């Protein structure tokens, strides 16, 4: 959501309006202007299951009535009805398939959905070079793979640059934080177990964990917190709106991400922009962006002892100061939204030469993006 809003905001600045089709289960769908402040159009689509015909029909109807020069497709299994809806109303199918599902967690169903999207798309976007090299469908002869671009997610840095940090923020032990949907792959339980190790350790200050996010795992995690007798050390904040993310991050001493796999985690670059020391798993997709001991402290996935040691290391003021400076430089140069927007404009100009993309890019003063390639 942060990335999509940042892109829409930049495009609006350049005279290109955007809309969003918000596809989600009813309990987690977010459709108010608070969540999508840069969108001129917000279309909710409630899904009830993988074979949900009603959501497919709604996407088809949206595709018919919504006039758009191009569509970035993130929910791949709804690509076909959207494309058919556009075709039936005489609109061009200028669709771009964005691949962001973790390689570590991909299933055959994910691959099938990607194939469906790539059959209707004119181009595809990959978030990192490493992801593209390992992408299981990279050799397939599909229309969407004819033109590929590597475009990293970017965020609007302005809300974070103005933050003034005075670490440490915690009273006693460090204040840890994580912002994520509470699903099994995020492995929050490893963080909880690391806290219990810190409590038992005589040379560790007891951390407090603030969890921003909601999801199907919340009730189980709350029960696990009670079982471990660490309720005084953990706060469940529920969903934190994007507008409040800078202040949430500014309340932390350390940002922790214990995950089994990611494609490109936006919360990590938000933490880097907010100058919060990062402790994250050594998953390939994270290790390809952050360097252990340079701009983050990385630990072994599903290893509470490794995490507890990483938290202790990141609590050292000299270590924290060094990795924060390097991480901020990284996100400023590579993962700001302006870089991302320029790259998307370059790609859209390739698949829709008569569109407004090059004119918008000229307003940026940008040049052709070197990461876009043809097969």
Spatial strand order in the sheet of 71-73? 71-73, 95-99, 123-126, 147-150, 372-374
| Exposed / middle / buried, residue 50 (Cβ in 10 Å: 0-12, 13-18, 19+) | exposed
Share of the chain above pLDDT 70, in %: 94
Give 367's pLDDT tier (boundaries 50, 70, 90): very low
Confidence (pLDDT) at 370: 42
- Looking at CATH, the fold of the domain delimited by 2-156+336-374 is given as Rossmann fold (3.40.50)
Confidence (pLDDT) at 164: 61
Confidence (pLDDT) at 33: 81
Confidence (pLDDT) at 291: 95
pTM higher than 0.75, yes or no? Answer: yes
Q: For residue 289, is pLDDT > 50?
A: yes
Average pLDDT (259-284) is 90
Q: Are 217 and 259 in contact (CB under 8 A)?
A: no
Q: Which CATH superfamily is domain 158-334 in?
A: Glycogen Phosphorylase B; (3.40.50.2000)
Identify the top-confidence range among 102-116, 159-173, 196-210, 287-301.
287-301
Each residue's pLDDT tens digit, 29-71: 777 888 888 899 999 999 887 668 999 999 999 999 998 999 9
Give dist(CA 92, CA 249) in Å, integer. Answer: 42
Do the two domains 2-156+336-374 and 158-334 of this chain adopt the same fold?
A: yes
Distance from the Cα of residue 125 to its chain's centroid: 14
Give dist(CA 135, CA 119) in Å, integer. Answer: 16
Q: Where are the domains of the chain?
A: 2-156+336-374, 158-334
Confidence (pLDDT) at 373: 52
Confidence (pLDDT) at 368: 44
Give 237's pLDDT tier (boundaries 50, 70, 90): very high
**What would you report as the CA-atom Rg of the chain, rounded to the nearest whole angstrom?**
21
Collapsed DSSP state (helix, strand, coil) of residue 305: helix
Q: For residue 322, is pLDDT > 50?
A: yes
Q: Are 371 and 151 in contact (CB under 8 A)?
A: yes
Collapsed DSSP state (helix, strand, coil) of residue 319: helix
Confidence (pLDDT) at 201: 85
Q: For residue 356, is pLDDT > 50?
A: yes
């Amino acid at each position: 959501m942060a990335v999509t809003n940042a892109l829409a905001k930049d495009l609006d600045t350049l005279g290109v309006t955007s809309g969003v089709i918000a596809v989600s289960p009813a309990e987690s769908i977010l459709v108010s202007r608070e969540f999508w402040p840069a969108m001129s159009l917000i279309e909710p689509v409630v899904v009830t299951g993988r074979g949900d015909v009603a959501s497919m029909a709604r996407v088809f109807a949206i595709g018919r009535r919504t006039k758009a020069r191009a569509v970035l497709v993130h929910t791949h299994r709804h690509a076909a009805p959207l494309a058919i809806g556009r075709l039936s109303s005489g609109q061009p199918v200028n669709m771009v398939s964005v691949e962001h599902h973790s390689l570590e967690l991909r299933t055959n169903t994910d691959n099938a959905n990607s194939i469906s999207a790539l059959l209707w798309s004119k181009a595809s976007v990959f978030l990192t070079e490493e992801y593209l090299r390992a992408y299981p469908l990279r050799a397939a002869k599909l229309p969407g793979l004819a033109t590929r671009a590597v475009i990293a997610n970017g965020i609007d840095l302005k809300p974070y640059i103005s933050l003034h940090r005075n670490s440490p923020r915690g009273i006693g032990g460090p204040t840890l934080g994580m912002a994520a949907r509470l699903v099994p792959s995020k492995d929050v339980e490893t963080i909880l177990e690391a806290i219990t190790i810190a409590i038992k350790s005589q040379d560790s200050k007891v951390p407090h964990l603030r969890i921003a996010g909601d999801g199907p795992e919340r009730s189980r995690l709350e029960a696990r917190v009670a079982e471990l007798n660490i309720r005084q050390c953990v706060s469940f904040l529920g969903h934190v709106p994007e507008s409040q993310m800078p202040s949430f991050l500014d309340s932390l001493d350390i940002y922790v991400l214990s995950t089994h796999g990611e494609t490109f985690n936006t919360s990590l670059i938000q933490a880097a922009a907010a100058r919060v020391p990062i402790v994250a798993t050594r998953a390939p997709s994270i290790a390809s962006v952050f360097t252990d001991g340079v701009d983050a402290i990385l630990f072994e996935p599903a290893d509470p002892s490794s995490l507890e040691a990483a938290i202790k290391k990141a609590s050292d003021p000299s270590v924290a100061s060094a990795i924060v400076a390097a991480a901020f430089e990284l996100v400023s140069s590579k993962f700001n939204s302006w870089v991302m927007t320029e790259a998307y404009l370059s790609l859209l100009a390739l698949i829709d030469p008569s569109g407004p993309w090059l004119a918008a890019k000229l307003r940026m003063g940008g040049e052709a993006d070197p990461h876009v390639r043809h097969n």
